[in-house]
Structure 1
Amino acid sequence: MTRNLYLFCAAAEPVFDIASVVEEAQARGWDVCLGLTPTAADWLEGSIEGLAALTGRPVRSTYKRPQDPDVWPPAHALLFAPATFNTVNAWALGLTDRFTLGVAAEALGQGTPTVAAPCLNAQLARHPQFEQSVTTLRGAGVSVLYGEDGYVPGQSAPFPWRLALDTVDALAGA
């Protein structure tokens, strides 16, 4: 059986490692569908075609038009990494103006195993809304890899990609 992973990335420095992360996920048996926030898509503009070839699917950063067919199969798991300060807060608040946020919000309602790995600086991490958003997402069933169990601002180098994929595998019953 094919296992479909929606791998979503926001614009933070670890996004530049995404090709190797896709390859690692594929080696673990995942068919990867790559979604990017608009800024992440801009950052990776010269790599989008190669990433689409690597995944065998279009890389998406915008919603499809209502009359267009879905080009991705349904997800068996979703990983949002790196998830920026803005992404975590918007997702927790249910703001779905971006494709990746809309699909991630729906994943919660569908019961899709979902993992988030935040990536932000220590100053933003101290903003009171961020901790509330992490708590909200965890309460909704998202495995948020932040703090002792994941990313620590100013201390997490390299980004915890392996932990993120291990957590996806564990949640999806790999």
Structure 2
Amino acid sequence: MPTDRVLYLLGSAAPPVLALPPVIKQAQAAGWDVCLGLSPTAADWLADDLGALESLTGHPVRHRHRRPGQVDPWPPAAVALVAPATFNTINSWALGLTSSFIVGFAAEAIGKRIPLVTMPCVNSALASHPQFGRSVDVLRDAGVRVLLGDGGFIPNAPGQGQPGAFPWERALAVVRDT
């Protein structure tokens, strides 16, 4: 069924990416047509599940740039959620380094004025790196809703991650209101 409520869910390789099916189902229950994109490492982590994820979304799972002349297999996005977004994803995106499909899409979406929401997933040591703070500021200044700190993801101490506590519900609520 065609819809203009197309959500691009773009995940990078942080542990919450391993629990995508309930997130996709929750977004679909809210009326979103979900297209799933992954960083190359996240796609490798989920290699055994890609077929099931494609069946769930009804779209190919993308983790590479298209070849020149290749038709885009996804409908146009109404909004994109980049989550979980790793330290590398946030910094690459802010710096315009588009070697991965998800970062390339997100960087271009800023210029296309496609609404963007991101929820980082980094530990407190990485979050304290000076470039990370600058990158978050760059993305916010570009109009990206960065859900970090109160009302979003709160970094944990290194080695103390709780992937099951990743606040997907908050990310989807912000997407809904975007």
TM-score (normalizing by structure 1): 0.95
Tell me how far apart the structure 1 counterparts of residues 126 and 41 of structure 2 sit (CA, whole Å).
18
Q: Tell me the SS of whatever aligns to 1:149.
A: coil
Question: How many angstroms does 1:2 deviate by?
Answer: 3.4
Structure 1: tracts of 5 or more residues without a match = none
Question: How many angstroms does 1:64 deviate by?
Answer: 1.1
Which of 86, 89, 99 is matched with 1:87 structurally? 89
Tell me how far apart the structure 1 counterparts of residues 85 and 27 of structure 2 sit (CA, whole Å).
18
Q: Tell me the SS of whatever aligns to 1:34.
A: strand
Which of 69, 76, 92 is matched with 1:67 structurally? 69
Runs (4 or more) in structure 1 with deviation over 2 Å come to none
Which of 33, 36, 57 is matched with 1:34 structurally? 36
Partner of 2:166: 159
Letter of the aligned partner of 1:94 in structure 2? G
Indicate conservation of the 8 Å contact 2:13/2:86, yes or no. yes
For these two proteins, the number of residue pairs brought into alignment is 171
Question: How many angstroms does 1:116 deviate by?
Answer: 0.3
Structure 2: tracts of 5 or more residues without a match = none
RMSD: 1.2
Moved more, 50-59 or 145-154: 145-154
Deviations 1:94-118 (A, max 9, x none): 1111111111011111111110000
Partner of 2:21: 19
Tell me how far apart the structure 1 counterparts of residues 67 and 98 of structure 2 sit (CA, whole Å).
15
Q: Tell me the SS of whatever aligns to 2:156.
A: coil
**Identical pairs, percent:** 54
Tell me how far apart the structure 1 counterparts of residues 65 and 104 of structure 2 sit (CA, whole Å).
9
Question: How many angstroms does 1:16 deviate by?
Answer: 1.0
Tell me how far apart the structure 1 counterparts of residues 124 and 110 of structure 2 sit (CA, whole Å).
27
Question: How many angstroms does 1:67 deviate by?
Answer: 2.0
Letter of the aligned partner of 1:107 in structure 2? A
Indicate conservation of the 8 Å contact 2:95/2:135, yes or no. yes
TM-score (normalizing by structure 2): 0.93
Q: Tell me the SS of whatever aligns to 1:22.
A: helix
Tell me how far apart the structure 1 counterparts of residues 90 and 70 of structure 2 sit (CA, whole Å).
29
